[in-house]
Structure 1
Amino acid sequence: MKKLTIAAAILALTAGMGAAQTIRMGTEGAYPPYNLINDAGEVDGFERELGDELCKRAELECTWVKNDWDSIIPNLVSSNYDTIMAGMNINDERKKVIQFTQAYTPGLPSAYAALAADTDVEGDVVVAAQTNTIQASHVAETGATLLEFATPDETVAAVRNGEAEAVFADKDFLAPIVEESNGELVWVDGFDTIQLGEGIGMGLRQSDTELKEKFDAAITSMKEDGSLNELLKKWFGEDAMQFE
């Protein structure tokens, strides 16, 4: 009887420890409106709000961890956190290292911005892009010279200071910068809407299949009740691409 009581206590404790597991959500905090650090020093943006809601629906306790983009996948694989929510497009190259949930954005467009609308972005020019992005891979396949930077803000600064003739990034990231530049930066003619990738998803370790299933179910529920589309409109505007 005593052995049974001890065994039951150990089982209850083990179950309690499992229930109390905290999922660490990794993000960059430097790619608004997807993710950013607000004035209070906290992770904010579309992915913070979405991630918190997904954790709630999946009945998971989650915290947020900031990590630089250039090491964000290695640190996931090394278990420094459990997910990546950082504006990361789903593509075959990344699937060799990590797995993804279903996309929580439609296939959002990328775009070129420059000081002149007639910039030949596929000719003998230098184009800035953030390192380890699908945009950087795309530029490398064109006739342009790729200039990579660790952060997205540095790619824009490179155009402004003359290091690069154009920048190539997610259009939603560039749109407010172009709009607020008062004509200094403009969209490149014919290159202002380029579809790349399969959409943005949450990255997880290959072994975390159960966690992937929980987040996939939560994303599906938000698509079905329309709340994901509402978040897309809130953070990307009324004209944002929507899930049908």
Structure 2
Amino acid sequence: MKKLILATALMALSTGMAAAQTVRLGTEGAYPPFNFIDDAGNVAGFEREVGDELCKRAGLTCEWVTNEWDSIIPNLQSGNYDVIIAGMSITDEREEVLDFSENYFPPAASAYVGLTADADIKGGVVSAQTGTIQAGYVAESGATLLEFATPDETIAAVRNGESVAVFADKDFLKPYVDQSNGELTFVGEEVALGGGVGMGFRDSDDELRGKFDEAIKSMKADGTLNAAIEKHFGAETKKF
């Protein structure tokens, strides 16, 4: 009986350890081509491909969790997942509340898109997603900021006349412009913001962050990361 109890306890411990080794990757699932939900209901896009490869190289078992953007950092801190991989730009402000990995997407341009090339992006109403570096930029630009919870809503606001333009990552906006049959157009100059896109971690998870840093470095070194960027964003997109 004692042997049976011991064996059961060891099995339970082993199962608990295996479960503890599963790393939960938190993403938005609404920011193509970085991340989106495909027709089968699964997380897809650039970050799904990169995240799966990083987990493989780091020797980790990973599962994907979706979370709305405006609460994505608080839910990391509360333990609902272990890593944020959601098109999040590295900024000094965010580094006050979480730690970032090495960037897996280089610093890229942000841009305005409107219905006409002469849209008043300096004094008019400009839409941006809540909690983004673009929203912060618009708020300080002299324009009137109109915030939305999802990126799709920011573009819809331009189309229905609520805003004169949307301000977001150019790589996110470009497919919408290309597929709009001339309805949407880029406005004004591009703006450089942030230090690239990185994975977000709790301050206490240095070991986990270190594993992903090494995996990111290896993907940069062998060209795998650049290949994924080109696949999802096009040959003209900036690479490492």
Which TM-score band applies after superposition, normalised by the shorter structure?
A: over 0.9
1:159-209 CA-partner distances (Å, limit 9, x unpaired): 1001000000011110010111111110103x2x21100000000111100
The equivalent residue for 2:63 is 63
1:91-149 CA-partner distances (Å, limit 9, x unpaired): 01111111100100110111000111012311x20000000000000001111000000
Q: Which runs of 5+ in 1 are unaligned?
A: none
Identity, % of aligned pairs?
Answer: 63
Q: How many residues align?
A: 236
Question: How is 1:40-59 mapped onto 2 (pairs within 5 angstroms)?
Answer: 40-59=40-59
Whole-angstrom CA distance in 2 between matches of 1:116 and 1:62? 44
The equivalent residue for 1:175 is 174
> Would the alpha carbon gap of residues 19 and 217 (structure 1) be closer, same or farther in structure 2, given more than 3 Å must change?
farther
The equivalent residue for 1:73 is 73
Q: Which runs of 5+ in 2 are unaligned?
A: none
Whole-angstrom CA distance in 2 between matches of 1:29 and 1:194? 25
Confirm whether residue 237 of structure 1 aligns to residue 238 of structure 2: no
Whole-angstrom CA distance in 1 between matches of 2:159 and 2:12? 58
TM superposition outliers: structure 1 runs of 4+ over 2 Å: 8-20
Question: How is 1:178-193 mapped onto 2 (pairs within 5 angstroms)?
Answer: 178-189=177-188, 191=189, 193=190
1:187-238 CA-partner distances (Å, limit 9, x unpaired): 103x2x2110000000011110000000000000000111000000000111
> Would the alpha carbon gap of residues 13 and 213 (structure 1) be closer, same or farther in structure 2, given more than 3 Å must change?
farther
SS in 2 for 1:52: helix
SS in 2 for 1:63: strand
Q: How far off its partner does 1:18 sit?
A: 3.4
Q: TM-score, normalised by structure 1?
A: 0.92
The equivalent residue for 1:130 is 129
SS in 2 for 1:188: strand
Whole-angstrom CA distance in 1 between matches of 2:113 and 2:9? 60
The equivalent residue for 2:96 is 96
SS in 1 for 2:93: helix
Whole-angstrom CA distance in 1 between matches of 2:176 and 2:215? 32
The equivalent residue for 1:213 is 210
Q: TM-score, normalised by structure 2?
A: 0.93
1:10-45 CA-partner distances (Å, limit 9, x unpaired): 789757743542100000000000000000000000
Q: 2:198 aligns with which of 201, 212, 225?
A: 201
Whole-angstrom CA distance in 1 between matches of 2:206 and 2:72? 20
Whole-angstrom CA distance in 2 between matches of 1:235 and 1:103? 17
Q: How far off its partner does 1:58 sit?
A: 0.4
Whole-angstrom CA distance in 1 between matches of 2:135 and 2:158? 15
Question: How is 1:1-16 mapped onto 2 (pairs within 5 angstroms)?
Answer: 14=13
